[in-house]
Each structure stands twice: as structure tokens, then as C-alpha cells.
Structure 1
Amino acid sequence: MSGVLDNKALNRFELDVGETVAFANYRRAGDRVIITHTETPPALRGRGIASELVKGALALIRADGLKVVAGCSFVVDYLRRHEEYADLVG
């Protein structure tokens, strides 16, 4: 499993990368997790960090038996490219 954690207090999934954190903000709506924004520090962009973050977030969502709603363009594109998560889209 990846190093992605669910920081419930801040409503975001987090991936520690050295001295900084990439994160994906979310909000809950019933059995759905709406990912509203992903943020990767500028110095880390282009290295697949955001993809690793979203992959880990989707694994946590799946493990909790929830569905995901893509509320940001990065997650929309990620889900389009990875059909193995089609069952999570709600």
C-alpha cells in the first residue's frame, strides 16, 4: 500500500514527500467522497506524485466501501486513464 493517509481532521488525503506534503481535499456526502482539489508542491510536479496520491486515495476509498466523485480535473483525467477504478465512480 502507498504512503497515502486520510487526514480526517483536515478532510484531505496526504502523501508525505520528503519535507513537504501533496494532498487531495475532499468532502463526504453520504457514501461518496468528493475529491475537490489536488495539490502537488511545484518542485515535485512532473514526477508522478499526484498520480500516486490519487491511486492511494482511491485504495482507501475502496477499502472503506465508498464511492468517489471526481470534483477536480486531475481526478477526472486519472479515472479516465485507469478503468480499474470504474466500479468506484458514483
Structure 2
Amino acid sequence: MSFLVEENPAERRFEILVDNALAGFTAYVPRGEVLVCTHTEVDERYRGMGVGAALVQGTLDQIRARGGRVVPECSFMAEFIERHPEYADLVVPAP
């Protein structure tokens, strides 16, 4: 199984493709260099397979690579960051 996380700016979300099929997304609201991540959703067919974690990790890696920051309003993302403190430096308080 191959994962690919890509940003879809038109939809304001990061999407994860599993074997070239859309498996989930993390929606955001841009606030300058900060992305307020509001919701993460994984298709039922892909739950329990690590797709959500791969999606959030890929999203955070891309935000870090471009020097951005994140407000994790989405509880799934907030919990991921708690379990992976190496991403804590990307978090800023809600505007």
C-alpha cells in the first residue's frame, strides 16, 4: 500500500491518496503563514490502517518544509501532535 499526501489549495485541504484513490483529507483555513486545521476525515474503508496518522504526518511535514505553522483545532491532529512532540514546535495559539 502506498500513501501520497498532497495539498489541494482550491479545496483548502491536504489529501491522502492510497494506491491512487482518495482516502482522506485534513481541511484548513489559511491565516497568513498559519493554517488553522479544522477537520480530518478518513474514508471508512481505510480506517485502522494508519492512513490518518500518515495524512497528519505528511501534512505537518509539508507545513514545516515551507516554514508555516499550524493551529490544530482538529482533535485528531491535536492528539497526533501530543503523541509526536517533534511536531510541537509547529503549533501556535489560535488567532
Using the size of structure 1 for normalisation, the TM-score is 0.92
Using the size of structure 2 for normalisation, the TM-score is 0.88
| Number of residues of Structure 1 aligned to a counterpart in Structure 2 | 89
Percent identity at matched positions?
43
Q: What is the distance in 1 between the residues matched to 2:63 and 2:22?
A: 23
The code of the aligned residue for 2:55 comes to L
Gapped regions of structure 2 (runs ≥ 5): none
2:53 pairs, out of 51, 66, 72, with: 51
Please tell me the root mean square deviation across aligned C-alpha atoms, in Å. Answer: 1.2
- Structure 1 stretches of 4+ with a deviation exceeding 3 A read none
- Aligned match of 2:38: 36
Listed one character per residue, the Cα deviations across residues 5-50 of structure 1 (whole Å, up to 9, x for unaligned) are 0100100001112433311101111221111100100111111100
- Aligned match of 2:66: 64
Listed one character per residue, the Cα deviations across residues 35-70 of structure 1 (whole Å, up to 9, x for unaligned) are 110010011111110000000000110011011110
